[in-house]
A and B are shown apart, each in its own frame.
Chain A
Amino acid sequence: MTAFLALLRRDLVVASRNVGPLLMATLTQPVLVVLVFGNILPRLHLVADEFRTVMVPGLMSITMLMAGVQGVLMPLATDLSGSREVDERLLAPISVLGVAIQKVVAGAIHAAVAGLVALPAMMLLMHRVTGVEVHPRWGALLPLVVASGLLSAAFGLTLGTRVQPRFSGLLFAVVLGPLMLFGCAYYPWAALKVLGPVQYVFLVNPLVFMSEAMRVAVTPDVPHMPLPLLIGGLLAFMALFTILGARSFEKRTVF
């Protein structure tokens, strides 16, 4: 446990030294989307006012997904590079699984902080904009943010250990892009009922559960996924990606 906490501390200290660039990377996207879709387009009457309420939790979940994935993927690229910085971690008195889980926890903290910074930033931008119904339920928000953070970071571990760094551009275009568009970030899952059974196809996308989780926590008045399905989905994807990621991490580090 000592080694686990020390490694986590090291990651958080290094991250805190780069807090400026990290915040920029985290906030640029949601802030600009809010400006365009939450401010300009409604004024031009090109989108309905309700869209503002719908997109806030969705943007939170996208922010967390990106932060969690990048929070693991980027350091992992250095770790597994030719210089093998990861070997020092593996030589610390901690198991290989311990090192993998520490990576996920560090990425999850990264993601949770990103989500919790993005929410007030967006609320501030839309302050006094009519038709916005954002009422965070903090008691539900914190555990759901933590779960979403762990899910994103475990996903990052899976991608980072299975995709070569030179394909990371492709990864963002081909994997993360579609996930975001079909992740119920810009529309509630419940509303997809109009698509018939296709609604359930969306459930293969882990981001759907994160978006719905934020919807439950931040805009409880918007219709959302039933809680058992929501929590079950979050936990199942978290477990799946942690297992897949830890397994490939071991394959990449111990020969």
Chain B
Amino acid sequence: MIPPAFDYHAPRTVGEAVALLGSLGSDAKLLAGGHSLLPMMKLRFAQPAHLIDLNRIDSLRGIREDGATIRIGAMTVENDLITSPVLQARVPLLPEAAALIADPQVRNRGTIGGDIAHGDPANDHPALSLALDASFVIAGPTGERTVKADDFFLGLYTTALAEDEILVEIRVPAFAPKTGWGYEKLKRKTGDWATAGAAVVLRLDGGTVSYARIGLTNVGPTALRAAAAEAALVGRPLDDASIDAAAAAAMAICDPAEDLRGDREYKTAMAGQMVRRAIRAAAARAQ
């Protein structure tokens, strides 16, 4: 219940934060929303000697339209994703999916950046980022670089983020007209992590799928890009057969950890079911 003692830093700029991270090294952890880190510290699973609180850096918040790209500050909290008129209009998958994350209070603190940077396969934004073809802007001692979501999630709690870097922005292409989307998340109760989740973004040309991206939540050591499932859809008419094929292809790449939510068989089967549901939801919206 009680975290171990630590020193606390609250930089006001990204530059300050990067400098602190550099000088304190692995003794430091970044504090974003705190709803992953602080519980771990209260259970003493994490015992950083220093916390670098990012909450005072105003430049890390906000959602802006930059032509056809939507730029989301990494410290934007989930509830602000939900209420954003920009996202509701241009990337409606995000507000809808954010409402399925945690609970109302946690969503006032939990950030999109924290959800991504942690490298936790149970979090939702990684799979959403894959489905959205998002890119991540990263600040480090030598400046900024951009990494595509496809290249960011490397393994369990392992991302392309170096120890001395901070995720500062998420860039998402605004939806083209007639883009359909869906996020289906099977969970034991409100606030739980996904037993299995599927994010789908697709476009139809007549009855044929012209574009599809599918991301899977919590059925592997990282979020999974279900490329074979996408291939089972693209260029084909969307019907029961192609949906079943996509689901089967998604299931084939699942490698879920067994826990009290389910064993491998159940989680894999549910990934398939969530893919089916998300495709159907997306198709209905793509009209």
- Chains A and B come from one and the same complex: no
